[in-house]
C-alpha cells in the first residue's frame, strides 16, 4: 500500500503534537519510526489508520485520501497493534485472535494462525489471565490473522523476550505488505526495517535508508546522546551508546 502524508499537523486541544509531517512511502516498505518519548510516533500511527483525523494536511493510501475510504474497507485493509494491549472482555485467546478476521472471508484457518504464533497451548485460556508479553503475542496473532495491506505496530517489541521478539519481527518483515512500526531499540529497527523515519517534537528530522538515518549527528540531535556506529557480520549498523 502506497502512503502519502502531506503537511499533516495534529493538535490535542492547544498542544501541537504533529507539526507539518510530510512522508511518502512505497508499497511493501518496511518502515521503522524512531524518536524520543512523546515525539508523536503513536499519534502518527493512529492518524494512518483513521482512528483520529489530521487537524491540518492530508493522508492518502494508494492515491485515495483516507477520508474517502469507507470505515469497513479501512478496518479490513489497515491494522494497528497498540502499544498497550487492551484488557479484553472475558474472551479466550482464540476468540481474541479470531477478531482479526471479523470482517473478512478467511483464507487461512484460525488453527493455522494459532499454531504459527505458538498459541495452541493457551488458545482456550482467558486473555485477561495472560502476562504482558503473552498478551502482546495474542494481539500480534490477531493482526497476523487480519493480514492487512498496511500493518501498523506501536512498539511491537514491548514486553517480549528476545526469542518471541525476533519471531514476531521476522514474520512482519516477511509479509508481502507495507508495515510501519515504532521502535525504541535502534538495533532492532536496523535489522528489520529497510526505511527509517526519525522524529522529534512532532516533526520528521530525517528519513531514508537505515544507514542514512542511524548517523551519530542525527541521534545526537533527536536524543541528545553520543553514539558510535558499529557493524555486524552482515554489515547491518549497530548503534553503541558512548558512556554518558
Ligand atoms: N489523549 C491525549 N490527550 C492529550 N495529549 C496527548 C494524548 N495522547 C498523547 N498526547 C500527547 O501527544 C504527544 C505525542 O504523544 P505520542 O503518544 O504520539 O508520542 P510517542 O512518540 O508515541 O511517545 P512514546 O515513545 O513515549 O510512546 C505527547 O506529548 C503526549 O503527551
Cα(179) to ligand 1 centroid in Å equals 21
- C-beta 37 within 6 A of ligand 1: yes
**Average pLDDT in the 136-158 region?**
95
Mutate to test the pocket of ligand 1, among 41, 47, 156 (most ligand atoms within 8 A of CB): 41
Asked if pLDDT for residue 224 goes beyond 80, the answer is: yes
C-alpha cell at 122: 493457551
CB of residue 41 inside a 6 A radius of ligand 1: yes
Among the atoms of ligand 1, which is closest to the Cα of residue 43?
A: 18
* Residue-wise pLDDT tens digits, 175-203: 999 999 999 999 999 999 999 999 999 99
Strands 56-61 and 3-12: what pairing?
Answer: antiparallel
Residue 163 binned pLDDT confidence (cut-offs 50, 70, 90): very high
With a threshold of 0.85, tell me whether the complex ipTM lies above it.
yes
Q: Whose CA is nearest to atom 12 of ligand 1?
A: 17
Is residue 202 lining ligand 1, measured as CB closer than 6 Å?
A: no
C-alpha 38 – ligand 1 centre gap (Å): 5
19-66 per-position pLDDT tens digit: 999 999 999 999 999 999 999 999 999 999 999 999 999 999 999 999
pLDDT of the residue at 88: 67
Is 160:137 a contact under the CB 8 Å cutoff? Answer: yes
Contact 125, 93 (CB under 8 A): yes
Give the pLDDT confidence score for residue 108 in this predicted structure: 74
> Does the pLDDT value for residue 107 go beyond 90?
no
Name the residue at shortest CA distance from atom 31 of ligand 1: 38
Q: Packing angle between helix 132-146 and helix 162-174, nearest 10 degrees? A: 10
**Which amino acid residue places its CA nearest to atom 4 of ligand 1?**
12
SS3 203: strand
Indicate the burial class of 2 (C-beta count within 10 angstroms; 0-12, 13-18, 19 or more): middle
Gap between the Cα atoms of 174 and 5, Å rounded? 25
Q: Is 51 in the pocket of ligand 1 (CB under 6 A)?
A: no
Count the Cβ atoms, other than its own, within 10 Å of residue 242. Answer: 9
DSSP 123-188: TTSBGGGS-HHHHHHHHHHHHHHH--SEEEESSTTTT--HHHHHHHHHHHHHSSSEEEEE-S-HHH
Among 71-75, 99-103, 203-207, name the one with the lowest average pLDDT. 99-103
pLDDT tens across 55-96, in order?
A: 999 999 999 999 898 888 888 899 999 877 777 678 999 999
Q: Model-level pTM?
A: 0.94
Ligand 1: atom nearest CA of 15 is: 5
pLDDT, position 103: 60
Amino acid at each position: 500500500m502506497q502512503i502519502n502524508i502531506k503537511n499533516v499537523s495534529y493538535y490535542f486541544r492547544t498542544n501541537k503534537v504533529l507539526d507539518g509531517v510530510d512522508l511518502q512511502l512505497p508499497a511493501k516498505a518496511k518502515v521503522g519510526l524512531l524518536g524520543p518519548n512523546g515525539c508523536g510516533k503513536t499519534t502518527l500511527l493512529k492518524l494512518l489508520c483513521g482512528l483520529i483525523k489530521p487537524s491540518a494536511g492530508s493522508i492518502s493510501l494508494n492515491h485515495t485520501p483516507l477520508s474517502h475510504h469507507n470505515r469497513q474497507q479501512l478496518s479490513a485493509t489497515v491494522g494497528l497493534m497498540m502499544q498497550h494491549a487492551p484488557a479484553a472482555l472475558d474472551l479466550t485467546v482464540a476468540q481474541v485472535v479470531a477478531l482479526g478476521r471479523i470482517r473478512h472471508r478467511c483464507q487461512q484457518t484460525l488453527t493455522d494462525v494459532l499454531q504459527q504464533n505458538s498459541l495452541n497451548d493457551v488458545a482456550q485460556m482467558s486473555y485477561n489471565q495472560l502476562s504482558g508479553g503473552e498478551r502482546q503475542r495474542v494481539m500480534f496473532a490477531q493482526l497476523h490473522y487480519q493480514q492487512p495491506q498496511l500493518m501498523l505496530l506501536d512498539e511491537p517489541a514491548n514486553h517480549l523476550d528476545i526469542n518471541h521478539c525476533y519471531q514476531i519481527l521476522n514474520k512482519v518483515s516477511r509479509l508481502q505488505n507495507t508495515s510501519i512500526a515504532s521502535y525504541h531499540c535502534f538495533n532492532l529497527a536496523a535489522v528489520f526495517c529497510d526505511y527509517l523515519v526519525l522524529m522529534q517534537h512532532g516533526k520528521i528530522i530525517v528519513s531514508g535508508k537505515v544507514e542514512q538515518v542511524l548517523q551519530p549527528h542525527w541521534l545526537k540531535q533527536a536524543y541528545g546522546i553520543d553514539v558510535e556506529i558499529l557493524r555486524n557480520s552482515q554489515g547491518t549498523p549497530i548503534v553503541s551508546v558512548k558512556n554518558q
